[in-house]
Chains A and B, each alone.
Chain A
Amino acid sequence: MINAIRNLGVRGINALWRGGSMARFFMLILANSGMSFRRFRLTIREIYFAGVMSLVIIMVSGLFIGMVVGLQGFETLQHYGAEETMGVLVALSLVRELGPVVTALLFASRAGSAITAEIGLMKATEQLKAMDMMAIDPMARVVAPRFWAGAISMPVLAALFSSMGIFGGYLVATLLVGIDSGVFWSNLHAAVDFRYDVLNGFVKSVVFGVAISIIATFEGFDADPTAEGVARATTRTVVTSALTVLLLDLILTGFMLRGD
């Protein structure tokens, strides 16, 4: 029993310590970000690897999830004879919640893990040390561009995810259920508020993108320089990112709800 408590304590302190290191790491990234923008091509390259390569999985997932939400919504809404507001249901759940959250989870496992593995492997094979020896700071040349690429890609991907989802819902509504397309769109238009829904969703996706990028780059940079260490770091990126995103979502949603 004592042991269990002690264990918990140790884990708690470790987690806190890690959190602190990550915060410091984030500051270091910001301090070393000059090159990422002065030579924006470095960042563009990473955006290609992190963002563009995630396009297919994000868009396909968005389409399917939109269709599923549409079908489920139709099931429930038709009991109340409100199936015409299906578009609203699909759009709101996507823009407010599913878009940012599911995109973040997919992004963490697709791009986040790749970033960790790449940086970790560069560390294990002494590439980072070699770069440092060449008087080029790996923080500025390797880490910061990847961080910014993640932070920039995430909101764009979330927006694409939501758009594809709404399109999926639209397909279900018009082709399967037989709702008039004009009705679908006008209901959707009337119900979705730009500031309250779209902007808040956007804020979420930005926060998630920053969080995932910090975690992914930190875990890679901090990995034990061995094959096993890199593997463990990659797993940690996915797990930590998922938990962090869900926790942040809870907190952000709490702040954003109007309560009317």
Chain B
Amino acid sequence: MTAAAIKFGEFVDAERVGNTPTAARHSQTSATGSIHCATPAETGMVNVKMKHIAVAHATLRQQKPTHTILSSTPSQSFVEIDNVDFSYGKRAILKGISLKVPKGRVVAIMGGSGCGKTTLLRLIGGQLAPSKGMVRVDGQDIASLDRDGMYAMRRKMGMLFQFGALFTDMTVFDNIAFQLREHTTLPADMIRDLVLMKLNAVGLRGTAKLFPAELSGGMARRVALARAVALDPMLIMYDEPFAGLDPISLSVVGQTIRKLNNALGATSIVVTHDIVESMQIVDYLYFISDGRIVGQGTPDEIRHSEEPFVKQFVHAELDGPVPFHYPAGDFGEQLGLVPTLPASRTQS
């Protein structure tokens, strides 16, 4: 107990310094935690542990680069996309998209397959540059950042990739610890606690020692989610977080996204097809079709929207403005079924 006490003493100071919402929240948790604990000894241990984690969190937030100059300007939107065009080669993907993601909110971006949702996230993350318009994150024009500025910005972001993109040569544990080890100087036992907490949040603490190849698709996705939030980012982008999940994990993941956003005081963007789940957890929705925003609103507004596209999406109607097909020529013609050349067909 003496060792623990010394540790405790060390942390009191640190905690006072780390006066962040996260740290405060955790000391609250420890207070409630002690009510439930049976013996005083146990209470002490739990307290120490919670303090320990609180400090880790505080350190994380402190170690985030305070590099941004413009971030102090009181901008309501954390992400602001202003009249952005983007094309792959000649194929225009986004045509004059404008949208805002207010600080602290969870916003869904919905739209048919291939309409450019992933592309939009790439633009926000600075991995692609718009051909026209501006992408602003935390008040800064992403395109104007140099490499160091960009990396400083990205340390405030977490991204769940559509296909997970877990590091296949590392265990699940190391995957989640990766950024903590690269970007912080936290001691190994703190990293361990943080990683286990993140894993626990997605219900996969038991998989820490497995390699990504040993996980199912849905498990890998949840691990990727835990990794995306490992550094307690200020902006979390989820690309299809619900794909390949069973109904239970789907709802758990949905709740986790919401809770994480509130707990971290973060801002979240969820790209998804899943209208039912997203209506329950998000504050605002944008609908993209053919490179444009075709509908937006709070879940309530969306439910009662008369916008044809939104209606089709919400009620999953097959007929409507959403094109199911990637642009292509006439199918009948391609199959040779068009009755324009019956003579030549009978000849051959």
Residues of B within 8 A of A125 (CB): 163, 165, 168
Interface size of A by Cβ–Cβ distance < 8 Å?
16
Residues of A within 8 A of B183 (CB): 135-136
- Please give me the residue from chain A that is nearest to B125 by CB atom: A133
Q: Which of A107-147 contact B (CB under 8 A)?
A: 118, 121-122, 125-127, 129-137, 141
- Please give me the residue from chain B that is nearest to A131 by CB atom: B167
- The segment from B44-52, B148-156, B299-307 that touches chain A is B148-156
6 shortest A-B CB distances, which residue pairs? A130-B165, A135-B151, A126-B165, A135-B154, A135-B155, A133-B159
- Please give me the residue from chain A that is nearest to B159 by CB atom: A133
- Please give me the residue from chain B that is nearest to A130 by CB atom: B165
CA distance A84 to B275 in the complex (A): 86
- Please give me the residue from chain B that is nearest to A141 by CB atom: B182
B28 at the interface (CB under 8 A from A): no
Q: Which of B309-339 contact A (CB under 8 A)?
A: none
Contact check, B157 vs A133: say whether CB atoms are below 8 A apart.
Answer: yes
Residues of B within 8 A of A126 (CB): 161, 163, 165
Q: Which residues of A contact B (CB under 8 A)?
A: 118, 121-122, 125-127, 129-137, 141
- Please give me the residue from chain B that is nearest to A126 by CB atom: B165
- Please give me the residue from chain B that is nearest to A118 by CB atom: B169
A147 vs chain B, min Cβ distance (A): 17
A129 and B165 contact, Cβ closer than 8 Å, known pairs A135-B151, A135-B152, A135-B154: yes
Contact check, A133 vs B168: say whether CB atoms are below 8 A apart.
Answer: no
Number of A-B contacts (CB under 8 A): 46
Question: Given B127, B150, B168, B178, which contacts A129 in the complex, CB threshold below 8 Å?
Answer: B127
Contact check, B127 vs A132: say whether CB atoms are below 8 A apart.
Answer: yes
Question: Given B155, B163, B166, B168, which contacts A121 in the complex, CB threshold below 8 Å?
Answer: B168
A11 vs chain B, min Cβ distance (A): 25
B179 at the interface (CB under 8 A from A): yes
Residues of A within 8 A of B168 (CB): 121-122, 125, 127
Contact check, B154 vs A134: say whether CB atoms are below 8 A apart.
Answer: yes
CA distance A125 to B154 in the complex (A): 20
Residues of B within 8 A of A129 (CB): 127, 161, 165
B298 vs chain A, min Cβ distance (A): 29
Residues of A within 8 A of B125 (CB): 133
- Please give me the residue from chain B that is nearest to A136 by CB atom: B182
Q: Which of B165-186 contact A (CB under 8 A)?
A: 165-169, 178-179, 182-183
CA distance A158 to B166 in the complex (A): 36
Residues of B within 8 A of A122 (CB): 167-168
- Please give me the residue from chain B that is nearest to A45 by CB atom: B169
Residues of A within 8 A of B150 (CB): 135
